[in-house]
Structure 1
Amino acid sequence: MAEHNPPHDAAILLENVTKRYPGPHGDVVALRGVDLSVQPGEIFGLLGPNGAGKTTTIETLVGLRRPTAGRIRVLGYDPMEQRDELRKHVAIQPQQAAVFEQQTVVELLRVWASFYPDPDTPDAVIARMGLTGSRDVRVAKLSGGQRQRLLVGTALISRPRLLVLDEPSTGMDPNARQELWDAVRDHRSAGGTVLLSTHSMEEAETLCDRVAVLHKGEIAACGAPQDLIAAHAPERELHFTVPAGTDLGQLRDTVGVSHIESHDVGSETRVAVRTRDSDAAFTLLAGPLGARRIQIKEAGLETVFRLLTGVLFHEAAVGSEADDAGFGKEPRKTEGVDA
């Protein structure tokens, strides 16, 4: 008999999970011995470039694919052996879904609600997702952002214990995105757990209690966003301008400076510096170098993601290779500095 209660009461538990797909030149390994746990009441982010294994992870969690090896429990259930029972407690919002285009928003949600024994009311979900003005609009007439909010609403209507969201804020304007985030937090406050796959650095850093970075089928790092930043990207970035031709030799010799990037714009040189000692660098900038427009930027998940995967966070959806210099897209010259 399948075990019902996972160790430590985890909402999601993966133990040494491996998934292989047969290929013309041998097996393709999508997951390589993944160990992961998500606690009840967490908003947990799953990050990674295309091909990292995010989709396979989600599909094994909800019983759409059987792992080649390892153990999975979701809300205490085996996703493959107890799929019908698990479906009563898990809701998934995919990036795209086939819906009835000629139904209105409220009609579609009424249909969705009819599938569950104790659903939320359509009007409550409509208000939560900021769709009150579109209540009686046909689905075919919705904008991309409205449609995305509606898909999240179809997942929320069942009052799931576990809500799985796949890039939910795609196509949303800032106001709609904030409404989505509020709805996700409300779900957590009501006792729900959220698994969120996203390519939005801001979304992951702002919304998630913890995140896991998947890379080549393995967990490269897992923890609270600020803990990952402190562990993997303790440097700060300083951005400033100096007159063109300024000798940056003193800055290169500053202890803690690991990288300098500069490019000339007219009579000025714009410079970006990575350093562990921002105070010493700032003193030099404000004094001998006479730098202007000095800005200090804390490292974020963008930097952590790039260091762990070699891919820029915002390019992860298309699998683009990262430029290790990575301070902007203008023509530039870069220098590595040994700290």
Structure 2
Amino acid sequence: MPAHDPAILFENVTKRYPGPHGEISAIRGISLTVRHREVFGLLGPNGAGKTTSIETLAGLRHPTEGKVLVLGFDPVGQRDEIRKHVAIQPQQAALFEQQTVAELLRVWASFYPAPDTPDAIIARMGLQDSRNVRVAKLSGGQRQRLLVGTALISRPRVLVLDEPSTGLDPNARQDLWSAIRDFRKAGGTVLLSTHSMEEAEALCDRVAILHKGAVVACGAPADLIAEHAPERELHFSIPTGGDLTLLRNRAGITQLSAHDVDGRTQVTVRTTDSDAVVGLLAGPIGARNIQIKEAGLEAVFRRLTGTDFDGNDGIRGTDDAERVGAEHVDAESVAS
């Protein structure tokens, strides 16, 4: 497809299912473009529509309305082309439990015309010490890295990852992130569904925040933070009973909370003018143990949706839709 066309296109995509009290919408009018050689993140709590979106671009679900194209191909009508160029690593998948890591990757490589080598994938995913270990004996983190390896071995042009860092320790997570960056540098495109704000900020060129099946914001992480959550969060302590009047009356402070712990008062302040507040803390207020934290993507999500990132408030209807959708997906896959 022409280089100026998007690698992935969602155009007014809606997916509805029949429910006991009428139709339920899992995704609602989503429009997104993912550029070539981009790491694009889908963020949202359980039930926000991430999995439905991924299964729609894979051709496992038929959109009720709208258009989906991946590398210019229709995922439903051109499934064979999608399989050649797109690799999807689901959050959970069945593997051959009695094969070793090397054996499993050799089997996976045999499915494709020009695969990468098992040895290269083992090195890329940091599985050298596990190459001769049976899949059934792998830890959760090792198994997760192996799942990503089975997606990479086909040398895909588009890589779709659903919660890839689940269960990984910090070192394994860094290995995974390096593999994703290397894939992008080599010309690949990544669609990443994640619950980790740290992961999204570290890897993604742009992110879309989903809520109740709709896109509520899309852009570069730094731009979204600057637009929707420009505050910084300051944590410090003062002697119990200390006067916080100067802070309470200060313009630019959007939140102030305090509680007593071990003879001191622990205070959290959210402000759009952190330099001025730090001046007050170091001077008349006499604060100690001052820590400054950027608001980050999680604050953007709270601001736009009114819920914590890992909460379920306000998303019940979409959660029901994804559950109902799971009951329909097998039939749709067989029909296509």
Gaps spanning 5+ residues in structure 2: where? Answer: 316-336
Deviation of the 1:321 alpha carbon: 7.6
Question: What is the alpha-carbon distance in structure 1 between the residues aligned to residue 242 and residue 123 of structure 2?
Answer: 57
Give 1:7 deviation, angstroms. 9.4
- Tell me how far 1:6 sits from its aligned partner: 7.6
CA–CA separation in structure 2 for the residues paired with 1:246 and 1:151:
54
Shift of 1:262: 0.8
Q: Is contact 1:6–1:13 with CA below 8 Å preserved after alignment?
A: no
**2:117 maps to which residue?**
121
> Structure 2 counterpart of 1:69, which letter?
E
Question: 1:222 corresponds to which residue?
Answer: 218
User: Which residue in the other structure is 2:71 paired with?
Assistant: 75
Aligned to 1:281: 277
| DSSP-derived class of the 2:143 partner | helix
* SS class of match (2:92): coil
Task: Provide the rounded CA distance (Å) in 2 between the counterparts of 1:228 and 1:265.
Answer: 35
Question: What is the aligned counterpart of 2:255 among 252, 259, 262?
Answer: 259
**CA deviation map 1:59-111 (0-9, x unaligned):** 11010001000011101101111111111000011111111100000000000
Q: Which residue of 2 aligns with 1:291?
A: 287
Distance (Å, rounded) in 2 between the aligned partners of 1:301 and 1:112: 37
Deviation at 1:38, TM superposition (A): 0.2
Q: Does 1:155 align with 2:151?
A: yes
Q: Give the length in aligned residue pairs.
A: 315
1:206 partnered with 2:202: yes
In the alignment, structure 1 residue 18 sits paired with structure 2 residue 14: yes
Query: 2:248 corresponds to which letter in structure 1?
Result: R
Kept after mapping to 1: 8 A contact 2:3/2:36: no
Show the counterpart of 2:267: 271
Partner Cα separation in structure 2 for residue 155 and residue 238 of structure 1: 42
| 1:91 aligned residue | 87
Question: What is the deviation of 1:312?
Answer: 2.2
| Amino acid of the structure 2 residue aligned with 1:173 | D
Runs ≥4 residues deviating over 4 A = none
Shift of residue 9, structure 1, vs aligned partner: 1.1
Matched letter for residue 14 of structure 1: F
Measure how far apart 1:201 and its partner are. 1.1
Rounded to whole Å, the distance in 2 between the matches of 1:9 and 1:54 is 23
> Is residue 64 of structure 2 the alignment partner of residue 61 of structure 1?
no
Contact 1:6 1:73 in 2 (8 A): no
What are the Cα deviations for residues 98-131 of structure 1, in whole angstroms up to 9, with x where unaligned? 1110000000000000000000000000000000
Report the identity percentage.
74
TM-score by length of 2: 0.91
Q: Specify the code of the residue in structure 1 equivalent to 2:283.
A: G
1:325 is matched with which residue?
none
| 1:31 corresponding residue in structure 2 | 27
Task: State how far apart, in whole Å, the 1-side matches of 2:307 and 2:314 are.
Answer: 5
Query: Among residues 135, 147, 172, which one is paired with 1:176 in the alignment?
Result: 172
Q: TM-score normalized by structure 1?
A: 0.91
Distance 1:93 1:310 in 2: 31
Superposed displacement of residue 266, structure 1: 2.1
1:17·1:31 contact (CA, 8 Å) conserved in 2? yes
User: Gapped runs of 5+ residues in structure 1?
Assistant: 323-339
What letter matches 1:244 in structure 2? T
Asked if 2 retains the 8 angstrom alpha-carbon contact of 1:212 and 1:219, the reply is yes
Give, in whole Å, the separation in 1 of the partners of 2:172 and 2:274: 36
C-alpha distance in 1 between matches for 2:2 and 2:227: 30
Amino acid at match of 2:94: A
Partner Cα distance (2:223, 2:90) in 1: 29
Which protein, 1 or 2, shows the higher relative CO under an 8 Å CA cutoff with sep ≥ 6? 2
